[in-house]
Structure 1
Amino acid sequence: MTKEQGAFRTIGELSKELSIKPHILRYWEDQFAMLTPLKRAGARRHYRPEDVIMVKTINRLLNEEGYTIKGARKFLASRRKGPEMVEDAPQAAAASLPLMTGDAPDNGVILAELKAIRDRLSHALDAA
């Protein structure tokens, strides 16, 4: 049985869907204040569609792009001030950041993004 796109997910369902162990998801709740699933009776977690997008974004940043938890936290904080997150567009984040405005994000965030791009390019060159 497959749930609809907008349905709530339990921690077990989300864990299986993303191949992430439940204790990792609980740890991420502690580390990322913006990740707040609903907690029902018995502290059962129910992830809303926006929570699922947040978890997918955190997973992408940490496990695919090589961010540290601190760097991912800064990146997500800067994104919450700007345009909405795009779940399946890793390059969209860097492309949407302003280059030379007075409202520019923290230099540490830019540096972390540049390092992630460098690492992706290095991996691509090694594979070629």
Structure 2
Amino acid sequence: MPAPGKAAGALRTIGELAEEIGRPQHILRYWETRFPQLRPLTRAGNRRYYRPEDVELVKRIHHLLADEGYTIRGVQKLLASEKPGRGPAPKACSSGSLTAIRASLVQALEEDGG
């Protein structure tokens, strides 16, 4: 929930975000050193401003650490295995299922006249 008087898509300061998730500001600064995906905007005086996508990432990291029981290393591995902006990495297909997919594509092309 955004700070009172702020739009949902507005930039948030580190203080606002820390208060929202119930963690001290130094924890958010620490997370920036451990998660390369977390890069808030920095302005004069090294003031941090978190974009909406940064806010979602911080909330996700907090949830994984506090509620799901992940370690920092576990969250790092999970986030690294995901492609940016695409969510979790897809599960690997077996060669048998790939062969079946290929066969159905070939059949579809033949029926289409291609």
- The TM-score normalised by the length of structure 1 is 0.65
Output the CA distance in 2 between the equivalents of 1:47 and 1:30.
15
RMSD: 1.9
Task: Tell me, yes or no, if structure 1 residue 15 matches structure 2 residue 18.
Answer: yes
Instruction: Give the superposition deviation at 1:81.
Output: 5.6
Partner of residue 53 from structure 1, selected from 45, 53, 56: 56
Structure 1 unaligned residues grouped into runs of 5+:
85-92, 103-128
Q: Residue 14 of structure 1: CA displacement? A: 0.4
- Which structure 2 segments of 5+ residues have no match? 95-114
Which of residues 2, 5, 9 is equivalent to 1:6?
9
Q: Percent identity?
A: 53
> Which structure has the larger Rg over C-alpha atoms?
2
Question: Which of 3, 19, 30 matches 1:27?
Answer: 30
Q: Which has the higher helix share?
A: 1
Superposed, 1:42-121 pairs within 5 Å as: 42-80=45-83, 83-84=86-87, 97-98=90-91, 100-101=92-93
SS in 2 for 1:46: strand
Residues 68 and 40 of structure 1: CA distance in aligned 2, closer, same or farther (over 3 Å): same
Number of equivalent positions: 91
